[in-house]
């Protein structure tokens, strides 16, 4: 996962809060120190890291938890809110006819990302055309063509033609009946006048609705000044940060770009066509903190955080409470925890999982996450309301088929039934509790 180390260290900090016997000044100071360390390790700017942690400390020490919330839950919520705040506001993606211009320096991922975007829109039912506007690199057309063939969309280009604006003009004409036109352009070593001039000329011809700056996240905090320079020069409408997969400097790049006020619209998380994610700060942070939804963490702080404690989870299941977020968390827990696997096996959800089944579960989990990302809070909490028009909308928003959404709902209903059965079966409960208490799972 993106920013794995940062996620791990913050999760440990949150666990510390969830496990603490009481929330006092000493704990808060310790948590603030942990947070600072975690942010700095992820290359977040020192000033910003200090500002964030100071604010966390101030709020944690001064604010009263809202009614019904414990001090622990409140501190966790403050950390979540402050982390979301540094990443800026989410930006909506247009799902109708429009023209996108890709700009950026050498090798940042423009061409690859143009292909990923083509795939993104195609999966959402729009027609897409790619325009090969990189006239400088000899193999640029072939590279784009190869990617486009993989996605299954047409490319307009003229290998050998040296005038980018001419290709763009012809490409727009060629794709005039196409929904989304994505224009790839040439990179440069640095933001030189020559590049700006060409981009300006291309932009004029393109009349693009979106100008996406593609930035390699491995440059870390340098991403901030680069985004600003491009924005001043050509007026970008969004930033796509690429190579966030496995980049230790990803935290630096994300926060630095967000600080400039340029919205981050997508992030690239790998070399494959599918490795593109819509960027939503709240979702990104709640995932970074390790759960489908931060709210469920706050509701069931100790259960979810203290994942090793199968007992806690079993208790929650006994209460019969179960929404889509619970289902997601439980499936996620199953992929991580040995003992819980046995608990689930005992409940009859699954037989013992083989390695292949585990992989299948993880694949399913990824798909479910993508689908759930397109649901509203209300739908996640009360899946009963998801009927056919909502199914269609969710499928479109997530790039999946309606059948996939239905499969998720079916899985949910089955699990819910199993939980219900379990919560009414005292004997099975007692048996389970005994085994949990003795630390043995003999199934």
Q: Does 113 contact Mg ion by CB under 5 A?
A: no
271 binds, among Mg ion, ligand GTP, none (CB under 5 to 8 A by kind): ligand GTP
Closest distance between ligand GTP and the C-beta of residue 164, in Å? 13
**For ligand GTP, which is the closer residue by CB, 164 or 304?**
164
Q: Rounded to whole angstroms, how far apart are CA atoms 371 and 95?
A: 17
Closest distance between ligand GTP and the C-beta of residue 203, in Å? 17
106 binds, among ligand GTP, Mg ion, none (CB under 5 to 8 A by kind): ligand GTP
Phi/psi region, residue 246 (left: phi>0; alpha: psi -120 to 50; beta: rest), is left
Residues that bind ligand GTP (CB under 6 A): 104, 106-112, 134, 137, 140, 187, 214, 242-243, 245, 268-271, 275
**8 A C-beta contact, residue 323 and residue 340:** no
**8 A C-beta contact, residue 57 and residue 32:** yes
Closest distance between Mg ion and the C-beta of residue 290, in Å? 35
Closest distance between ligand GTP and the C-beta of residue 199, in Å? 12
User: Of these, 72, 91, 110, 396, which contacts Mg ion (CB under 5 A)?
Assistant: 110
Q: Does 108 contact Mg ion by CB under 5 A?
A: no
Closest distance between ligand GTP and the C-beta of residue 140, in Å? 6
Q: Does 36 contact Mg ion by CB under 5 A?
A: no
**8 A C-beta contact, residue 99 and residue 183:** yes
Closest distance between ligand GTP and the C-beta of residue 269, in Å? 6
Q: Which helix (H) or strand (E) holds 277?
A: strand 276-278
DSSP 196-265: HHHHHHHHHHHT-SEEEEEEEGGGGGGHHHHHHHHHHHH--SEEEEE--TT-TTHHHHHHHHHHHTPPEE
Q: Does 269 contact Mg ion by CB under 5 A?
A: no
Which structure tokens are listed for 173? 């004409």
**For ligand GTP, which is the closer residue by CB, 109 or 129?**
109
User: Of these, 111, 260, 300, 435, which contacts Mg ion (CB under 5 A)?
Assistant: 111
441 binds, among Mg ion, ligand GTP, none (CB under 5 to 8 A by kind): none
243 binds, among ligand GTP, Mg ion, none (CB under 5 to 8 A by kind): ligand GTP
Q: Rounded to whole angstroms, how far apart are CA atoms 19 and 192?
A: 54
- DSSP-derived 3-state class of residue 239: strand
Find the length of the chain: 443
Q: Which helix (H) or strand (E) holds 184?
A: strand 180-185
Q: Which residues bind Mg ion (CB under 5 A)?
A: 110-111
């Amino acid at each position: 996962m993106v920013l794995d180390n940062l996620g791990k260290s913050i999760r440990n900090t949150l666990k510390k809060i969830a496990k603490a016997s009481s929330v006092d000044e000493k704990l808060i100071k310790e948590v603030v120190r942990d947070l600072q360390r975690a942010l700095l390790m992820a290359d977040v700017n020192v000033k910003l890291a200090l500002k964030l942690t100071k604010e966390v400390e101030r709020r944690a020490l001064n604010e009263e938890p809202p009614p019904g919330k414990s001090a622990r839950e409140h501190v966790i919520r403050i950390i979540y809110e402050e982390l979301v705040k540094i990443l800026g506001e989410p930006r909506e993606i247009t799902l109708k006819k429009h023209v996108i211009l890709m700009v950026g320096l050498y090798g940042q991922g423009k061409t690859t990302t143009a292909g990923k975007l083509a795939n993104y829109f195609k999966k959402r039912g729009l027609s897409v055309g790619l325009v090969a506007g990189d006239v400088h690199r000899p193999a640029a057309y072939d590279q784009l063509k190869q990617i486009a063939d993989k996605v299954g969309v047409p490319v307009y280009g003229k290998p050998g033609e040296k005038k980018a604006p001419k290709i763009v003009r012809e490409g727009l004409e060629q794709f005039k009946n196409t929904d989304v036109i994505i224009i790839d352009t040439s990179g440069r070593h640095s933001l030189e006048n020559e590049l700006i001039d060409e981009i300006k000329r291309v932009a004029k011809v393109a009349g693009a609705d979106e100008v996406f700056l593609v930035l390699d996240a491995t440059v870390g905090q340098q991403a901030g000044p680069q985004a600003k320079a491009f924005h001043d020069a050509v007026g970008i409408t969004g930033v796509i940060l690429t190579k966030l997969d496995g980049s230790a400097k990803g935290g630096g790049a994300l926060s630095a770009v967000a600080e400039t006020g340029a919205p981050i619209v997508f992030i690239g998380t790998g070399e494959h066509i599918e490795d593109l994610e819509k960027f939503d700060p709240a979702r990104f942070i709640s995932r970074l903190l390790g759960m489908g939804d931060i709210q469920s963490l706050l509701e069931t702080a100790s259960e979810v955080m203290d994942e090793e404690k199968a007992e806690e989870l079993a208790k929650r299941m006994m209460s019969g409470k179960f929404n889509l977020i619970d289902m997601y968390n439980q499936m996620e827990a199953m992929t991580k925890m040995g003992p819980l696997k046995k608990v689930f096996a005992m409940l009859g959800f699954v037989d013992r999982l083989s390695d292949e089944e585990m992989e299948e579960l993880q694949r399913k989990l990824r798909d479910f996450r993508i689908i759930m990302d397109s649901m509203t809070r209300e739908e996640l909490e009360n899946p009963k309301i998801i009927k056919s028009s909502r199914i269609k909308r969710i499928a479109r928003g997530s790039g999946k088929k309606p059948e996939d959404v239905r499969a998720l709902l079916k899985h949910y209903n089955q699990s819910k039934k199993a939980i219900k059965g379990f919560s009414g079966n005292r004997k099975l409960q007692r048996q389970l509790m005994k085994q949990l208490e003795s630390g043995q799972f003999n199934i």
